[in-house]
A and B are shown apart, each in its own frame.
Chain A
Amino acid sequence: MSTAKDRVPAGSGLNDDIGEKKRLELYRSQVRLREAEQRAFDLFLQNLVKGTSHLSLGQEAIAAGFAEAMVKGDLSFCTYRGHAHTLARGVPVEKVLGELMQRDNGLMRGKGGSMHLTSEEHGVMGSYAIIGAHLPIACGAAWRAQYRGDKDVSVCFFGDGTTNIGAFHEALNFAAVWKLPVVFVCENNLYMEYTPIKDVIPIPQPAADRASAYGLERILIDGNDADIVYRTAQKAFARARAGEGPSLIECLTYRHSGHSRADPAKYRPEGELEEWKKHDPVNVYRERLKQFGVKDDVIAEIDASVRKEVDDATEACKAAAPPSLDIIFTDVYADGGWAWRN
């Protein structure tokens, strides 16, 4: 981690650029993502989450930091590892867990599944399970903003492995030449599914070291520090809204769990996880709050209320009915149905 100098300078007090109110929101968001993802994993082990799931345990600071910097109208484009980004935009935990558990109360009533969380009303424009597909799509949403003079920013999250697919390079070039208000966020968690990213790239940093090819600034940050993420997001969003074009931000992070399902992640060298857990984003942030003088009971209150939301959501999902089968044939086409012939 080369980012210590970016950490909060000692003694900067509560009135720094972020402020206590936003800090408490950043903390609450991270704890909420942590608890919800941990619950998803527990439910998976209980066989109550069907199919697959890709958790963001350990990567919460990125989702929280970006979402807290976004305003209503900004758009998120996520991957199959999209629970955290979806929750961070304000989607209720029950909706997400309901979709993972394939219940009628799920965000898409079971028609999408864990890899495709979408909530248009929250600006979550979809979670995409084909590597790289959503980078060009985010460009298109940003093109619409540019065309209409809208001030929203399209934010596109993806992993380190995604930087090797063609769509990444097409989108970066396209966004840069068209100066689109899009922010590309690479969550470098060091691994693709099971192979370390360093084994498949000729440069140290998969995203940052490619930025110059598209005329973009090299941005590499500590993705486990929500303050740094939040500040970096604000800067990139301001640039996008000012018509100055896209940004590519590489956030260094680490996933605490396996790639998906119950992957035990045996391919990781011994001690690596433990080393990264010393830099766990939730712990980092809890310490940060204390450093700024936030009282323990305020922190405990946040922890408890988040726990309650997740517990209540879990119970609601367990009690929820499976989806009604009549929706199998709805919404294939815009007329609401599936008719392909007369």
Chain B
Amino acid sequence: MAEISYRDAVTRGIAQEMSRDPDVVFLGEDVAKPGGCFKATVGLYEQFGGVRVRDTPISEQAILGAAMGAAMTGLKPIAEIMFSDFIAVCFDYIANEFPKSRYMSNGQTKCPLVVRTANGAGSRFGAQHSQSVENWCMMIPGLKVVAPSSPIDVIGLMAAAVRDPDPVIFFEHKSLYNSKGEVPDGEIVDTLGTAKILRAGKDCTIVALALMVPRALEAAERLRIDYGIDCEVVDVRSLVPLDTKTILGSVAKTHRLFTVEENPRLCGWGAEIVSIVADEAFYDLDGPPVRITTPHIPLPAADIMEDIVLPTPQRIVDTIRRSLGS
């Protein structure tokens, strides 16, 4: 057991898989010798060499296209897109190529690859380097989408993503890179499509993802201390496949649902969860499901503005307290 950072967990997760399987290769901009723009891959180049860990030109389409061609013909590439916002310049691969090839070829082709990318706000980089874009990927049939919130989940879900036979988009949160957590020694392998109940409670269910998870946990603690409200906190972890059983099970117990989403409001992942709960668990609910999201605006850069627009523990507390009538 050791305490390591979320950043170091990225390196450890990739190293674990590269050590296990010589077909795992890693490419991206400034990822090899420089160790990544966020220093999340330091040491991989030294450990595995320049043939397996490769710096690329600034060519996002070439990076993802090459990852796909390599995956189709037998490798298990991990490709980095430096900031998740840049997915927009290579979206063809994410929207049209990775997820459609198996289906269109009637099962002839495969695409086992991982795209890892730094997602989310908190760095005051403004509207083109701070977005939370997991919902861009969630809406595409054929993709899998994960977003871990802790170092142990980074390692375990990275292993699961690399070993998965489908294309997986792996959202790391920029503002979590410095966070720390206990991680056991030895190999860690998790399962895609599983949510985790991080805190049991009986009064309401809070479903959160990535950076919103620690905020939901903090809000839950304050709600208990200040208002005696007992919240259950579910870390979704995997948007596709989606562990609806855990979410529906929690709502059946608490009878109230809150989602905490960093993405701008329209078509955020929480909307899908609310719709599933409304369809399938309407009579479990004692009140309307409530989504707590970033408003539908481009992200402002200045810290005092960015801080207001993202869901904060305070906003979560206030929303839940008001909704539950305490």
Contact = CB atoms under 8 A, between A and B. Distances in A.
Interface of A: 75, 107-109, 111-113, 116, 118-120, 125-126, 128, 130, 132-145, 147-148, 154, 166-167, 170-171, 173-174, 177-178, 327, 330-336, 338-342
Interface of B: 25, 51-52, 54, 56-57, 59-75, 77, 92-93, 96-97, 101-110, 112, 141-142, 144, 164-166, 193, 240-245, 276
A167 B102 contact: no
A136 B62 contact: yes
Contact of B108 (A75, A108, A137): A108
B57 A177 contact: yes
A171 B61 CA distance: 8
Given A133-B93, A137-B97, A167-B61, A334 B69 contact: no
Given A133-B92, A331-B102, A342-B241, A144 B107 contact: no
Given A130-B96, A137-B66, 14 more contacts: A107-B106, A108-B106, A108-B108, A118-B104, A118-B105, A140-B66, A140-B73, A166-B61, A170-B65, A171-B62, A333-B142, A334-B164, A334-B166, A342-B241
Nearest to B243: A342
Contacts of B71: 140
Given A174-B56, A174-B59, A341-B241, A116 B65 contact: no
Nearest to A127: B104
Nearest to A174: B62
B69 A137 contact: yes
Contacts of A339: 241
B254 to A, nearest CB: 20
A-B pairs, 5 with minimum CB distance: A136-B65, A140-B69, A334-B165, A140-B66, A170-B59
Majority secondary structure of chain B interface residues (helix, strand, loop or mixed): mixed
Nearest to B60: A170
Name the residue among A113, A116, A143 with the largest chain B CB count within 10 angstroms. Answer: A143
Contacts of B61: 132-133, 136, 166-167, 170-171
A341 B241 CA distance: 5
A128 B97 contact: yes
Residue with the greatest number of chain B CB neighbours at <10 A, chosen from A109, A119, A330, A333: A333
Given A120-B109, A144-B74, A147-B75, A136 B103 contact: no
A326 to B, nearest CB: 12
Contact of B68 (A137, A171, A174, A338): A137
Given A341-B242, A342-B193, A331 B65 contact: no
A126 B62 contact: no
Contact of A334 (B67, B104, B106, B110): B110
Contacts of A135: 65
A313 B154 CA distance: 53
Contacts of A177: 57
A173 B57 contact: yes
Nearest to B144: A333
Nearest to B68: A137
A197 to B, nearest CB: 22
Given A130-B97, A173-B57, A338-B141, A108 B105 contact: yes
11 contacts: A126-B109, A136-B64, A136-B68, A144-B75, A170-B65, A331-B107, A334-B110, A334-B166, A340-B240, A340-B242, A341-B241
A58 to B, nearest CB: 27
Nearest to B240: A340
Nearest to A137: B69
Contacts of B96: 130, 133
Given A137-B66, A167-B61, A342-B243, A120 B56 contact: no
A222 to B, nearest CB: 30
Contacts of B240: 340
B73 A139 contact: no
Contacts of A111: 103-106
Given A133-B65, A143-B69, A334 B102 contact: yes
B65 A137 contact: yes
Contacts of A141: 69-70, 72-73
Nearest to B164: A334
B106 A327 contact: yes
Nearest to A176: B57
Given A334-B102, A340-B240, A125 B57 contact: no
